[in-house]
Structure 1
Amino acid sequence: MTSQPPRWADRLLKLVCAPHRREETLGDMHEEFAYQVGRIGERRARWRYWWDVLGFVKTPPGWPFAIKPKSTIDYSSPECRTTFLLSPVMIRNYTKIAFRNLVKNKTFSVVNMLGLALGMACSLLIMLWVQDERSVDAFHANKQQLYRIYMREYFSGKVQGVIWTPGPLAAELKKSIPEIQLSTAFSWASSQTFSVGNKVNKQQTNTAGADFFKMFSYKLLQGTAEAALKDRNSLAISRSMAEVFFGSPEAAIGKPIRFDNRKDLLVTAVFENVPKSSTLTFDCLQNWDGYLEDNPWAKGWESTDPLTFFMIRPDANPEKVEAKIKHFMDKFNKDANKPFHTELAMQPFHEYYLNSNFKNAQIDGGRIEYLRLFSLVAVFILLIACINFMNLATARSAKRAKEVGVRKVVGAIRAVLVGQFLGEAMLLTVFSVMLSVLFVGLLLPSFNSLTGKQIALPINDLSFWGILGGLTVFTGLLAGSYPAFFLSSLNPIRVLKGALKFDTKSTWLRQGLVVFQFSLSIILIVGMIIIYRQVEYVQTKNLGYDRENLIYFPLEGDLSKNYDVLKEEISQILSVKQVSQMTESPASNGSGTEGISWPGSDPTDKVRFTPVGVGYDFVKTMNLNVVEGRDFAKDFPTDSTGFLINEAALKVIGYKDPIGKTITWGNNKGAIIGVLKDFHFQSLHTSIRPLIAYLNTNSRRHGGNAIVRIEAGKTTETLAQLEIICKKLNPKFPFTYYFTDQEYARQYQSEQVVSKLANYFAFLAIFISCLGLFGLATFTAEQRTKEIGVRKVLGASVGNIVGLLSQDFLKPVAIGILLASPVAWWAMSKWLNGFAYKIDIEWWMFVLAGSLAVAIALLTISFQSIKAALMNPVKSLRSE
């Protein structure tokens, strides 16, 4: 039995085909079907028949999904030709032509594909990083209702933003503001020692209120959100901590665990390990009331220690809540409505990670600025890659001019030509996307190591492929648009009469694209230089003390009460120069107090001082400079009530001869015994604050850190001896130590990552730009073969030829440097404003960036220029 084509396909063909052509068309289609059955089989022939019939479907304007037959068709009309040329058969032909062109012009194809692939790989990496950054804290179910409190403190005609809040604030807000449904205090992290039997380990410990797990969506494996932190002795631990001490989460619940070797806590909940996408990180949470029991000073409204978070009711208006809390502190502040007062403000919790900086006590930027910066960099690099494509495609248009001319003569219309060239660009873009995904997969491990992330290529995520598809279409259309419209606009008569000559407009456009391309590259290079210099500056700046060869370890357990014995034994180690102690970390101190006064001070105009308890030999151990007076000394018993201040504090107090003058801190009154030269005890993002140091004697001592200065090159043996001493005096606690220089550098981790990324992206931008220059230089050398041969015959040297070919490319590079410099200066000045201490932007940075760009551009085009200049003129003239 003879195979018949699909009946429904025939009916559709009759419906869409003109009446006077139906019989002829059906006959031709049936003949083709019979042929294909014998060649590829009936099943495939039927599918192909359907495909060919669909090629006849014509959708009229205004009927996007309708099929409507025409009573008559003029096959000589452009509209009919368009329909025919966009049929599946012709699309296959266009695809074949595109493949042949790519294979025929291997250099052009490789340069374009590599440039686009690198640009898109960079964009994809940045996109994945931005998505990961924006996903932080997005997993909380109540994120739209969660807020954090920050304070605006007004004093001395100034205002400053503070994130640390009074200890009682969370509970008082929940009690006083009806719209606030839940609230919790959350203390800063500390490394605490826990033990179960013979198992002893340190864990990152925070404290939180009973509402914490009701507010935040940390998954509980054991226990309930209501009971997790209900009692003073409650402790919620992570899965990993449960496995370390008890073997499993199930075995941990309800078991006691020894805290700091001084009291037992009860495991009331086990939560899944805190995800990387969480701003708050902790191994375990202690009950806030239990923390207050150990630290009664945190119960007062004068001291600031924890963060305060709250959750409003679903029907509450955040603006009305903020209006209610603004002056909430007035009733607890005896100096309300005077020059010194405090206002409360609130910020959505999910914005906390990306927006954490203050400007005039208002939330203003933070990591979000880096997201914007690198998103812009991704666009820059993708634009540079697309410009390469445009320039090379238009430069090569002379080789395809005759093709365009012939096709126009035989009836091709401009829309079809535009479609073909856009299709070729899209095909090359598809290959580039495939290559870029491969690059991303290979680079992700290194990228994660650099950024400290755990980003994976989301190949199972449909949204990723949707974004990738959108990026493909966008890049293909952007890169292929100008070449497509330029080539399709060529006059067939002019083209077929002789060689194509570019007019001034097209030449200027191509030069303008090169200028724009190198302007973006110069901006990135300048940014790279300035960011590198600033990061180097903050890491090497003289802080006012010597952070090299300075270690510290916590005075916990018996070390605190046996500090004098500890110091004596450590001092016997030959490689130890000095030993002292302080209540804070040498690398960072963020605590504050307003309870400082002195004779003549205005009680209504308070200033926040940074307090720190120190031991004897503190100045020598830290290598601080004493401007006036002296350090604490055992020879002076009255030093137990004395104070050391820094220059910033002296400036606030205003004493002309400060030594011996009195200061009152709360109920403690003492004399100034010394003035220290200002030193940085916080990051260089903030100015040096007034500091007041008191002698941390046995009666006052409550933990803190021992600080030890050791001889250079003897770190390993010194640490081994320190561990022996600490284990002997404090056997219940593991020995944990920190290097001051490393902890200080950790404060600038974001800047270090930005610096490295800026280096890589700037290199990538200039590399892609030079790929374009290399392609243009190759094309130019080919186009000017006859001219070069004639010049050599007339006596031009190789140097003359190289200079002639190079100058055309160096002009747009030079213009790009001039245009990019002011933009780069503005952008980097804005970035540097985030530092209280920063470098100056100097002229040589722009000269260096420009010189690098010119040198790299010369190196890129010199290969082709020298190759063309060395060519035998007889051979080149014969070929012409």
Structure 2
Amino acid sequence: MLGNYFKIAWRNLIRNKAFSAINILGLASGLACSLLVILWIQDERSMDRFHANDAQLYQVYEINHYDGKIEGTYLTQGLLANELKRMVPEVTYASSMESSFPRIFSANGQLFKVEGAYVGEDFLKMFSYPLLQGTPATALNVPGGIAISRKMAAQFFGSPERAIGQTIRYENKEDLTVTAIFENVPAYSSQQFDFLRNWQDYTKANSWVSNWGSANPATYLQLHQGTDPAKVAAKIKGFLASYKSQHKEAFTELGLQPFPEKYLHATFQNGKIDGGRIAYVHLFSLVAVFILLIACINFMNLATAGATQRAKEVGVRKVVGAVRRTLMLQFVCEAILLTLCSVMIAIALVVLLLPAFNTLTGKQLLLPTTQPAFWALLLGLMVITGLVAGSYPAFFLSSLNPVKVLKGNLKFSTGATFFRKSLVVFQFALSAILIVGMIIIYQQLDYVQTKNLGYNRENLLYIPMEGGLINKYDLLKEEAGKLPGIVSISKMRETPTVISHSRGDIGWVGKDPSQEVLFSDAVVGYDFVKTLDLRLLAGRDFSREFGADSANYILNETAVKKIGYTDPIGKPFIWGTDKGEIIGVLKDFHFSSMHDAIEPLFIRLDTSPKWGTLLVRTTAGKTQTTLAALEKLCKTINPGIPFSYQFSDQEYTKLYKNEQVVSKLANYFAFLAIFISCLGLFGLAMFTAAQRTKEIGVRKTLGASVPNIILLLSTDFLKPVAMALLIAFPIAWYTMNRWLQGFVYKTEIAWWVFVLAGLLTIGIAILTVGFQSIKAALMNPVKSLKA
């Protein structure tokens, strides 16, 4: 019986080629979109889920109460991991982790830049990064030792077996011994590194780590199996009270988060974990479901629009004894067959689009054709889609009265017509929401890209200070200053794009002892203000003419307001135990993304940092020739180290990588939603034109012109679209306003955004229904009245 249904379904599909092609194309587009999003969601949710001990792995976070604020952060004290392991019996292993920017390694005549991290000796005991050589117990317990990846071992020594025990040179200044080789870190790990160095080596080079007042590394714990994490979290909540000064109004608490959850839930609101990438997972899931629903709605509209062609078939079947249940089953089988064809095309589309989708999202997704679960998912998706898409047409067509149908009196109830128009309203409402979202996201990205940051991003280069550049900085600056096209040179510990380090042990005259304010701090060289083209509100930049400047400070205006000095120049400022004077006040400039407010910032001079970034201001229009001269100079001063650089504006753009992905996906989703919705409107236009054939004939007989008929039909078609806009705009405004709340500095939602979105939606709808309206208006009235 079912075989006969599918045979009839196939014949109908072949007979109505145009109808079938439109339907299959719409469903295939929706299914392809859904499959891509499902693959992305699966990848997002599988992140960090491969560790054998993932149920016992936790990351420590801090809740800072200060200055009337409550802020959460994953930055913790470098001493915290070992102290928690020592003092809390439920902790099996603990490790700090400080990621490193690309470092230069050399061995056997090979030289590469490699990214890695400094970690505690328990790190490889906690996390499941398989060792090819060495053991977790000895891999990271020796100062001067290094664990490297299979890839790194192959690059320098040919194989993991040859690499173990070998010497590799670090930054052309230190020889390290390879103590272990681990398997390459998989793409589904949020921790990415190719080398791991011992934590003791990090503390030797960074004395601030031993200060409980400084926070930067991450802290990971593995609890004993069966331990209640809530009890451990309660136990360590006030742990820092014994190690750093706490006040009633200014104190720090600790919290625990399951490590596998951190990737998707890493945003803090008022000190609590609230959101993160999970918001995008939910958003894209919802969009994928809606686009698939839009495609199913198209099937319903097109199937009912073609009811006039199938009505007599249904009537004849009922007359010869077919019951409603068998007719419904037949139409559902037709829907499933059509969905099967759509699924096959959707898979082909996914294969074609996956490389571009991976480039867009930064993923390495593959179609898991070898996994039974994938085919089970596909089968379930096909059946559900077929049932959803075919349910209403099956119910509607099987309910037709055979007597009326065979007499040619096929009329559709007001309720049926209203339902179909409601489906179109739903389609275009979602499309309008996506169009508004697309425009506002573009506006916000344009706003953050063009807003004056307080420093000049144009013609500003970042050059990492590696190898000999650190010790020979003064020579480099002197020689580079002679090159044509160089305006100014300075240096800093981080970059102007992101200053992430902060301190709480700040003091000034008149400070309330119970008050604690976190200040961001930057370590810079001479000519910093000039090189960044910053604006001094008072005072001066650091200068060699003042020998005491190494103990003095420059503050931004937010810091001065927080301190309360009315005339700050020459006033005392204390960092830890280092007391100096304020010599300059800078107009506020952005040193992080516009998601965050500008924080109080103090800048100090360090003439001999161990690492950092060279800042080079070049003359406009001479960047390329200046770069070539700089590269030649750096190779002379710093032989054996490859020359590298970044443009300031490109580094700034990276702060909004997630937003850029969302913007591009919003564009594609909006286009796809509009495309599929137009197919639905086309179906409604076909249906309406078929229903009003005789009416059009009568109107033309009575003297109605073709333009009048076109206007009449188009106006009727556009009513659902207008209704969709009225529903969509309040929802779009609310949704995008909530999204913009994630930015402290943001654009305003202007009225013209909705006007533009409305005009685009209506314009596309007019183009869609225009063909059917013109076709109906041009029909010979004689034929219309005979129909």
TM-score by length of 1: 0.87
The alignment partner of 1:207 has SS state of strand
Cα gap change, 1:808 to 1:207, in 2 (>3 Å): same
The C-alpha deviation readout for 1:694-727, integer Å capped at 9, x for no partner, is: 12224xx332111001122322221221122122
Cα distance between partner residues in 2 of 1:630 and 1:799 = 74
Verify the 8 A CA contact 1:389 1:479 in the aligned structure 2: yes
The C-alpha deviation readout for 1:821-849, integer Å capped at 9, x for no partner, is: 11111221222222222222222212211
The C-alpha deviation readout for 1:738-760, integer Å capped at 9, x for no partner, is: 21111111121111111000100
Match of 1:268 among 169, 179, 202: 179
Question: 1:461, CA displacement in angstroms?
Answer: 0.9
1:690 corresponding residue in structure 2: 600
1:634 aligns with 2:536: no
The C-alpha deviation readout for 1:609-648, integer Å capped at 9, x for no partner, is: 1111212221111011111222222333333322110011
The C-alpha deviation readout for 1:107-151, integer Å capped at 9, x for no partner, is: 221111111110111001100111111111111111111110110
1:594 corresponding residue in structure 2: 504
1:160 corresponding residue in structure 2: 71
Cα gap change, 1:732 to 1:103, in 2 (>3 Å): closer
Cα distance between partner residues in 2 of 1:447 and 1:359 = 31
Cα distance between partner residues in 2 of 1:199 and 1:111 = 58
Verify the 8 A CA contact 1:142 1:215 in the aligned structure 2: yes
Verify the 8 A CA contact 2:116 2:192 in the aligned structure 1: no
Verify the 8 A CA contact 2:429 2:724 in the aligned structure 1: yes
The alignment partner of 1:355 has SS state of coil
User: Any unmatched runs of 5+ in structure 1?
Assistant: 1-89
The alignment partner of 1:545 has SS state of coil
Verify the 8 A CA contact 2:424 2:720 in the aligned structure 1: yes
Residues 471-490 of structure 1: pairs in structure 2 closer than 5 A: 471-490=381-400
1:499 aligns with 2:406: no
Verify the 8 A CA contact 1:398 1:499 in the aligned structure 2: no
1:561 corresponding residue in structure 2: 471
1:409 aligns with 2:311: no
1:204 corresponding residue in structure 2: 115
Cα gap change, 1:290 to 1:639, in 2 (>3 Å): closer
1:351 aligns with 2:261: yes
1:663 corresponding residue in structure 2: 573
Identity of aligned residues (%): 58
1:717 corresponding residue in structure 2: 625
The alignment partner of 2:65 has SS state of strand
Cα gap change, 1:395 to 1:778, in 2 (>3 Å): closer
Match of 2:655 among 747, 764, 776: 747
The alignment partner of 2:688 has SS state of helix
The C-alpha deviation readout for 1:786-810, integer Å capped at 9, x for no partner, is: 4334433433222212111111110
Residues 840-859 of structure 1: pairs in structure 2 closer than 5 A: 840-859=748-767
The C-alpha deviation readout for 1:369-407, integer Å capped at 9, x for no partner, is: 001000000011011111111112122223322222222
1:182 corresponding residue in structure 2: 93
Cα distance between partner residues in 1 of 2:113 and 2:308 = 72
1:364 aligns with 2:293: no
Match of 1:704 among 600, 607, 612: 612
Verify the 8 A CA contact 1:111 1:775 in the aligned structure 2: no
Cα distance between partner residues in 2 of 1:441 and 1:456 = 9
Match of 2:514 among 604, 614, 619: 604
Residues 513-662 of structure 1: pairs in structure 2 closer than 5 A: 513-662=423-572
Cα distance between partner residues in 1 of 2:188 and 2:488 = 42
When Rg is computed on C-alpha atoms for both structures, the one with the higher figure is: 1
Verify the 8 A CA contact 1:433 1:472 in the aligned structure 2: yes
Residues 212-223 of structure 1: pairs in structure 2 closer than 5 A: 212-223=123-134
1:192 corresponding residue in structure 2: 103
Cα distance between partner residues in 2 of 1:401 and 1:273 = 63
**Counterpart of 1:774 in structure 2: which amino acid?**
F
Question: 1:732, CA displacement in angstroms?
Answer: 4.2
Cα distance between partner residues in 1 of 2:618 and 2:145 = 41
Question: 1:161, CA displacement in angstroms?
Answer: 1.0
Cα distance between partner residues in 1 of 2:258 and 2:449 = 33
Cα distance between partner residues in 2 of 1:773 and 1:585 = 53
Cα distance between partner residues in 1 of 2:663 and 2:256 = 32
The alignment partner of 1:189 has SS state of strand
Cα distance between partner residues in 1 of 2:59 and 2:327 = 59
The alignment partner of 2:99 has SS state of coil
Cα distance between partner residues in 1 of 2:71 and 2:78 = 19
Verify the 8 A CA contact 2:569 2:584 in the aligned structure 1: yes
Question: 1:858, CA displacement in angstroms?
Answer: 0.3
Residues 673-688 of structure 1: pairs in structure 2 closer than 5 A: 673-688=583-598
2:730 corresponding residue in structure 1: 822
User: Any unmatched runs of 5+ in structure 2?
Assistant: none
2:775 corresponding residue in structure 1: 867
**Counterpart of 2:532 in structure 1: which amino acid?**
M
The C-alpha deviation readout for 1:83-128, integer Å capped at 9, x for no partner, is: xxxxxxx333322221222222222211111111101110011001
Cα distance between partner residues in 2 of 1:558 and 1:425 = 70
C-alpha RMSD of the superposition: 1.5
**Counterpart of 2:116 in structure 1: which amino acid?**
T
Question: 1:337, CA displacement in angstroms?
Answer: 4.4
Cα gap change, 1:636 to 1:858, in 2 (>3 Å): same
**Counterpart of 1:261 in structure 2: which amino acid?**
N
The alignment partner of 2:397 has SS state of helix
Verify the 8 A CA contact 2:305 2:686 in the aligned structure 1: no
Verify the 8 A CA contact 2:118 2:196 in the aligned structure 1: yes
2:168 corresponding residue in structure 1: 257
The alignment partner of 1:310 has SS state of strand
The C-alpha deviation readout for 1:516-575, integer Å capped at 9, x for no partner, is: 111111111111111121122222221111112111112233322222211111111111
Question: 1:426, CA displacement in angstroms?
Answer: 1.2
The alignment partner of 2:537 has SS state of strand
Question: 1:778, CA displacement in angstroms?
Answer: 3.1
Cα distance between partner residues in 2 of 1:375 and 1:792 = 49
TM-score by length of 2: 0.98
1:439 corresponding residue in structure 2: 349
The C-alpha deviation readout for 1:843-864, integer Å capped at 9, x for no partner, is: 2212211111100000111122
Match of 1:105 among 6, 11, 16: 16
Question: 1:197, CA displacement in angstroms?
Answer: 4.5
1:398 corresponding residue in structure 2: 308
**Counterpart of 2:399 in structure 1: which amino acid?**
S
Match of 2:747 among 827, 832, 839: 839
**Counterpart of 1:125 in structure 2: which amino acid?**
L
1:16 corresponding residue in structure 2: none
Cα distance between partner residues in 1 of 2:582 and 2:511 = 16
Moved beyond 6 Å, runs of 4+: none
2:673 corresponding residue in structure 1: 765
Cα distance between partner residues in 2 of 1:804 and 1:530 = 34
**Counterpart of 2:616 in structure 1: which amino acid?**
V
Verify the 8 A CA contact 2:108 2:157 in the aligned structure 1: no
Cα distance between partner residues in 2 of 1:527 and 1:119 = 20
Verify the 8 A CA contact 2:420 2:684 in the aligned structure 1: no
Match of 2:684 among 766, 773, 776: 776
**Counterpart of 1:471 in structure 2: which amino acid?**
L
Verify the 8 A CA contact 2:304 2:687 in the aligned structure 1: no
Cα distance between partner residues in 1 of 2:525 and 2:207 = 23
The C-alpha deviation readout for 1:258-296, integer Å capped at 9, x for no partner, is: 112222111011112211111111110110011111212
1:330 corresponding residue in structure 2: 241
The alignment partner of 2:177 has SS state of strand
The alignment partner of 1:479 has SS state of helix
1:424 corresponding residue in structure 2: 334
